[in-house]
Amino acid sequence: MISKLHNSDPKIYKFIEQEKKRQQEGLELIPSENYVSSAVLEAMGSILTNKYSEGFPNHRYYGGNPNIDLIELECINRAKKLFHVEHVNVQPYSGSPANFAVYNALLEPGDPITGMNLLDGGHLTHGWKVSATAKFFKSYPYHVKPNGRVDFDELWNIAKEYKPKLIWCGATAYARTIEFEKFSEIADSVNAYLIADISHISGLIVGGVHPSPVPFAHVITTTTHKTLRGPRGAMIMVTKKGIKKDPEIAQKIDKAIFPGLQGGPHNHTTAAIAVALGEAAKPAFKTYAKQIVLNAKTMAAEFTKLGITLVSGGTDNHLMLLDLSKEGSLGAQLEYAMDVAHMTANKNTIPGDLASPYYPSGLRLGTPALTTRGMKEPQMKQIARWIVDIINHIKPYRLPEDKTKRLEFMKTFKKKMDKDVFLKSVAREVMNLTSQYGTNT
């Protein structure tokens, strides 16, 4: 049966089909990516996208929203029950707007803040210098120690010297357990808000394989499309501790989203988030979360066995960061070579990286999408071996010391890799593996 999209816009239909083929034939190893269920896709593609719904349930600026109210309230209630929180806003368009809304709600321009340094595994919106969060607030980032773990001594010193009004915990490239209680002790010592950004680990928390920040944080932000396995959206949650610190904090959060930053919510996304939360509440999700971590630990152990250095020496969660500094700054080359071999990952800086973020010394890998497809420990070992084979294959292609020559070097490198016989052979093995696993839950 030919789809309506095929008839009305064959070019876009073709591009979507190409992307579907890429996702089915390849291995998605980016830790912030996942495959949603058919039910989530159905909600995302529903007629709810037609409706404008500025405001909140039972308080809209447009008529015709009784069904939208029911959907949003159901989504909120599912999130409150799943995460054990007092208040939830499900309207943020994505993670960065959600985080900026927290600033908007709780701070004044120029207030001091602290979050994990981007190059150490933090997020842009936690105060990195090129982000608006550093433009409007005074950012004093903390770092990780040489062992790849948070330097709490440094954070204590930052707290004592600069008295931040807001402290972020959570990261995008941190392979260890987030120690929420330690962050809480520091935040409480200076009467700061503690905001836990659990975007990467929300599914692991729901699945019981990572501690929850709820007893320690005042506010929690999360995207919904990573380990939670939902659509590309976000939520802001307020805890009992947050309400105790500021009884009006929930209202401040809501006002910061609308009318503070956004207009009408994306109702189709809200419905899809509700579906994903419903899926995450089922017993099978706990089994899934446990397998994500088991797969990551298995893959990390195989890398170590094969002589690859990992930042912090391993992983406690869903991701790992390869330290390729000994092999040269291979992050960009490895990312591209893996693409040719039908494996998708992302180049990444490592703590203290002397290389450019465009040509970094690391590669970030994760197991959520692989686990969604049903892959387990044997497949993780095989994938690690493929990646190490590729690393060894491209070692001769070291970046030029002269930075002005790197762009041309990468152009030449990519042309060679596109025709590389070895990478093509790995791609065939990858496709043989992926043909045995679907992409929808």
Catalytic annotation present for 149: no
Q: Which listed residue (42, 51, 52, 182) is catalytic?
A: 52
- The pair phi, psi for residue 238, each rounded to 5°, is -115, 135
- The pair phi, psi for residue 65, each rounded to 5°, is -115, 15
Instruction: Assign residue 203 a region (left: φ > 0; alpha: ψ between -120 and 50; beta: otherwise).
Output: alpha
Q: Which listed residue (28, 120, 197, 279) is catalytic?
A: 197
Which 3 state secondary structure label does DSSP give 301?
helix
Give the long-range contacts of residues 247-256, CB within 8 A, separation 24 or more: 249/105, 249/106, 249/218, 249/219, 250/86, 250/87, 252/105, 252/106, 253/87, 253/89, 253/101, 253/102, 253/105, 253/219, 254/56, 254/89, 255/105, 256/101, 256/102, 256/104, 256/105
Q: What kind and span of H or E run contains 235? A: strand 234-238
Q: Which listed residue (232, 252, 290, 414) is catalytic?
A: 232
Structure tokens belonging to residue 102: 């927290």
Contact between 197 and 169 (Cβ < 8 Å): yes
Structure tokens belonging to residue 212: 């929850």
CA torsion 234-227-330-391 (nearest 10°) is -160
To the question of whether residue 118 is assigned a binding role by annotation, the answer is: yes
Catalytic annotation present for 359: no
Among candidate residues 50, 92, 73, the one with its CA nearest the CA of residue 258: 92
End-to-end CA gap in the chain: 23
DSSP state of 404: G
Catalytic annotation present for 54: yes
Catalytic annotation present for 61: no
Catalytic annotation present for 232: yes
DSSP state of 327: G
Q: Where are the alpha helices (DSSP H) in 237-372?
A: 240-245, 249-257, 267-280, 283-305, 331-340, 368-372
Q: Do strands 55-56 and 59-60 pair parallel, antiparallel, or not at all (unpaired)?
A: antiparallel
Q: Residue 60 burial (CB < 10 Å; 0-12/13-18/19+)?
A: middle
Catalytic annotation present for 223: yes
Q: Which listed residue (33, 42, 54, 69) is catalytic?
A: 54
To the question of whether residue 124 is assigned a binding role by annotation, the answer is: yes
Q: Name the binding residues for (6S)-5,6,7,8-tetrahydrofolate.
A: 118, 122-124
Active-site residues, by number, are 52, 54, 197, 223, 226, 232
Annotation: binding site? 118, 122-124
